[in-house]
Amino acid sequence: MRVPVHYSWGFAALLFLSSAGAAQSPAAPPPALLPGAPALELPVRCRVGADCFVQNYVDTDPGPGMRDFACGRLTYDGHKGTDFRLPDLEAMRRGVAVVAAASGTVARVRDGMEDVSIRQSGGSPAGREAGNAVVVDHGNGWETQYSHLKRGSIAVRPGDRVEAGTPLAQIGLSGNTEFPHVDFGIRHHGRTLDPYTGKEAGTGEAPACAADRGAVPVPSDTLWSDDARRTLAYRPSALLGAGLAPEAPKAEVARDGGYGGGNDGRPLPAGTPTLGVWAELMGGRQGDRVTLEVAGPDGRRLLRSEGAVPRPLAVLFFGTEVKKPAPGPWTPGPYRVTVTLRHGDETVLREERRVELR
């Protein structure tokens, strides 16, 4: 059986909060020559690759195309930040902290914008695309910006002194965005840099062209600290969520967190007339194949369904129904959902989720 597939591009525009008198300097020199460059710690309190994911990187392509630092496509034309995303809106509602990446002084804040997808709002007013945001001044011309923050969660004011790890706010959905995330940006004298390479955004330099080899290490001349580097290896694809549903799966319900989808899915009633299986992934490449498998409490396979990725896509939602093996209720017990993503002969990921039917 082929899996019905819904494709969409994640989108998040970062427009920096204005800074009076921000100087435009010559092109940024290599990281080793940058004076007073802060060693950046993770700007989020979540497990990258498990609870949160890097959805988009800085666009290194100087023209109308798009390319991230690893020569992959986890970016979009003109993107100037690094997007740390959550798997669904329920995770945002629970609250995930955004923290200062380095010590400094809060320079500017904006709050009060609603957490709503541009699919519903139609977009933000001009000049407010970054949504609720915080800018921290690190001295020597260095600034970091944290955008798309949750309304009412900002915990700092201009003039506050912060250290690396100081809570600033929570990940939100404000401004021009479709999914809950924080867009982290860094500037030096007004020039936007890629924290992975220390090079200016849009210069065409992408030194780690190895996206098809799976995880790519962070370059040695990165602005990230040694601790941050250990958790930020480039991964071209990831499983955002998967599980079972008491209906034919709907992408909008899964993205709201309505089906669960973490390490263990939300329990379902064994009497549900319909049982669906779903998965949402990021970083689909042309030619990739996604396989969904469901096994019942006795280990017997109830479903194996496969779908193809026709073109490079940022986010992919797969869903289909599971055929009931016999009349009556489903057998109570743990059901196993297995999601496999293959790129050619390479197995990019293979992960399981368990869901209890009661």
CATH of the domain at 273: 2.60.40.10
Distance CA 177, CA 162 (A): 27
Same domain, 194 and 250: no
- Establish if 95 belongs to a structural domain: yes
Report how far Cα 289 is from the mean position of its chain's Cα atoms.
21
Query: pLDDT tens, 157-202?
Result: 999 999 999 999 999 999 999 999 999 999 999 999 999 999 999 8
Residue 5 resides in a domain = no
- Asked whether residue 57 falls in the same domain as residue 159, the answer is yes
What's the CA gap between 286 and 312, in Å, rounded?
5
Does residue 2 lie in a domain region?
Answer: no
Of the residues 185, 201, 234, the one at which a domain ends: 234
103 with 171, same domain: the answer is yes
Q: Does residue 124 share a domain with residue 248?
A: no
Name the amino acid, one letter, at 185.
G
pLDDT at residue 113 above 50? Answer: yes
Residue 1: its pLDDT value, please?
39
150 and 293 belong to one structural domain = no
Q: Is residue 1 in a domain?
A: no
Domain span at 82:
10-234
- Residues 201, 202, 208, 210: what is their CA dihedral angle, to the nearest 10 degrees? 130
Is 93 part of a structural domain of the chain?
A: yes
What is the C-alpha to C-alpha distance for residues 195 and 221, in angstroms, rounded to an integer? 10
The number of distinct structural domains making up the chain is: 2
Q: How confident is the model over 10-23, as a mean pLDDT?
A: 39
Among 214, 234, 254, which residue terminates a domain?
A: 234
Cβ proximity of 29 and 132 under 8 Å: no
Convert the pLDDT of each residue in 309-356 to its tens digit.
988 889 999 999 999 988 999 999 999 999 999 999 999 999 999 999
> What pTM did the predictor assign?
0.88
Closest CA to 305 of 285, 284, 279, 327: 279
Q: Which of 184, 204, 234 is the endpoint of a domain?
A: 234
Q: Are 84 and 181 in contact (CB under 8 A)?
A: yes
Q: How far apart are CA 211 and CA 310, in angstroms?
A: 18
Q: Which residue has the tokens 């009076």?
A: 20
Q: What angle do CA 109, 43, 62 make, to 5 degrees?
A: 85
